[in-house]
Structure 1
Amino acid sequence: MENRNWGFCELSIDRNFPTGDLKKLGDLGYHTITINSYVEEATDEPKKKKKKGDLKEKKDAMPAPLEIPQELSRTSKLNILQRITIEFSDSSIAHKMNQSENLKKFDIIAVVPKTLQAFQYACGTMDVDVITFDPQTRIPFKISRKLYRQAVERGLFFELMYAQAIRDSTARKNIISTAHTYHAIGKSKNIFISSGAENLSQVRNVHDVINLGFLLGLNSNESLNTVKNNARRLILKSEGRRYGKHYMKVETVQNNDNKTIDK
């Protein structure tokens, strides 16, 4: 990615969101949006017995990113990124992720840990960018201060999604509970707010989202950071994960006049 003005960010728009309405997100104050592809945890299915002589078909466990219409890319000023969110229960997911070619095509990788073991693995080991949870259900384990701090130190971010909370009281209670947990154990560090919207009616403008932060236990600066500075840091973190760390070497050399210069 070249150096861009990321501005205000909406980092979770469902891939089923009508592409014709994506441009309208700019009218709500956003400069950067992320199209999210959600991967549910696969159920154990009986393997089909292969017939003798059949070629082994290698299937990618991850979907390819949504193809953005060229007209939208050409006419819109929005920065459009691709994100994948993967449910998992244990560390066996690492094999599927390592074998996936499609996974490399996404800008941001998020995970939904379904068990405490999965959460520990995400916080301490996984090379991902975001840890998130389904607002429809309560987190099925206790999040410790130690694990939260470990994730933050590794540059991971925690997501709060509001779209489901708009239409469902249970989801609303869950997102408020999760937000206050993050505040109690980690002072709300590395938090960002997104919608998870499937259509335009589920997206709120930037200022409404900042105001929503107050209900989630955030002060004015923290609320602003959830859609701007933290989101920008997340994007830069994901860029570093994809392209690796860069180092600058400074050397002192002498020119022909025996003057010392830095190079």
Structure 2
Amino acid sequence: MSARAWVFCDLSVSRDFPLDQVHLIKKLGFDTIAINTYVEEPSDEPKKKKKKAEDRKDFLPPPLEIPVEVSSMMNVLQRVTFEYSDANVAHKMNQSENLKKYDIVAVVPKTLQAFQHACASTDIDMISFEPEGRIPFKIHRKMYSQAVNKGIFFEIMYSPAIRDSTSRKNIISNAHLYHVIGDSKNIIITSGAESPMHVRNVHDIINLGFLLGLNSNQSMDVVRNNPRKLILKAESRRCGKHYLVITKNK
């Protein structure tokens, strides 16, 4: 980590976002972004005899290469988000060498079994759901609390709400569900932006928090304190419970 400020964060900017326009995100008040690589769950294929080289093929792509002019402008982290329906897929993902190259690991559980596994996991930092739809199963308070106690955060992505009215209703519904079952603890709001048109400034996001059932402190936390806690938690996961970061002042 650099000595640069880490005040306001957008921890999901699409891998497809034009990097030559990242400066526009900075103008909107953000100091830190995470470039998100999204990996869909692999489809079931009939078992075939494969060559050893194919068996060793990495499940996850490597992170996007970030130009120096972008990384010198603001803090840029690498995030991977992968879908899964059962623990076997998650285990295979964790065997990936490329996984170690990412700063933040997020998952999209597709089933209740996968969600239960995610809430008990020590290998992830964030749980997300497809913003275009409602959560596809019932979440219990006990599972939510388990995730919070392990330092796992829940993501609310707002850019689909800009593009589609149905997504907007579902995002608001999911956010209020988090409020009912978990008092909106460990919530992070991200853009998921694919273009500069999908990003809103910090103050707009704070105001959005009230619409999503958050109080004034929580609305500030979702773009400042909670992302910072997640980043530190991710660092401890990668480096061990006790670690020391030394930065050299220029």
Q: SS of 1:36's equivalent? A: strand
In structure 2, the residue matched to 1:215 is: 211
Q: Choose which of 70, 73, 76 in structure 2 pairs with 1:72.
A: 70
In structure 1, the residue matched to 2:22 is: 22
In structure 1, the residue matched to 2:152 is: 156
Q: CA deviation at 1:156?
A: 0.2
1:1-40 to structure 2, matched below 5 A, reads 1-2=1-2, 4-40=4-40
In structure 2, the residue matched to 1:176 is: 172
Q: Choose which of 98, 101, 123 in structure 1 pairs with 2:97.
A: 101
Q: Distance in 2 between matches of 1:131 and 1:95?
A: 16
- Residues 84, 90 of structure 2: 8 Å contact kept: no
Q: Which runs of 5+ in 1 are unaligned?
A: 249-263
Q: CA deviation at 1:105?
A: 0.4
Matched, 1:56 2:53: yes
Q: CA deviation at 1:94?
A: 3.1
In structure 2, the residue matched to 1:42 is: 42
After superposition, the C-alpha distances for 1:16-59 in whole angstroms (9 at most, x for unaligned) are 00011112211000000010000000101235545xxx653321
Task: Tell me the percent identity.
Answer: 65
In structure 2, the residue matched to 1:259 is: none
- Residues 176, 213 of structure 2: 8 Å contact kept: yes
Q: Distance in 2 between matches of 1:55 and 1:168?
A: 45
CA RMSD, 1 decimal: 1.5
Q: CA deviation at 1:14?
A: 0.2
Amino acid of the residue matched to residue 67 of structure 1? E
Q: Distance in 2 between matches of 1:198 and 1:33?
A: 13
- Residues 122, 150 of structure 2: 8 Å contact kept: no
Cα distance change, pair 81–247 in 1 and its aligned pair in 2 (3 A): closer
Q: Distance in 2 between matches of 1:110 and 1:68?
A: 20
Q: CA deviation at 1:98?
A: 2.8
After superposition, the C-alpha distances for 1:85-115 in whole angstroms (9 at most, x for unaligned) are 0100000023322320100000000000000
Q: CA deviation at 1:188?
A: 0.5
Q: CA deviation at 1:175?
A: 0.7
Q: Which runs of 5+ in 2 are unaligned?
A: 245-250
Larger radius of gyration: 1
Q: CA deviation at 1:203?
A: 0.3
In structure 2, the residue matched to 1:115 is: 111
Q: Distance in 2 between matches of 1:149 and 1:3?
A: 33
In structure 1, the residue matched to 2:124 is: 128
Q: CA deviation at 1:137?
A: 1.4
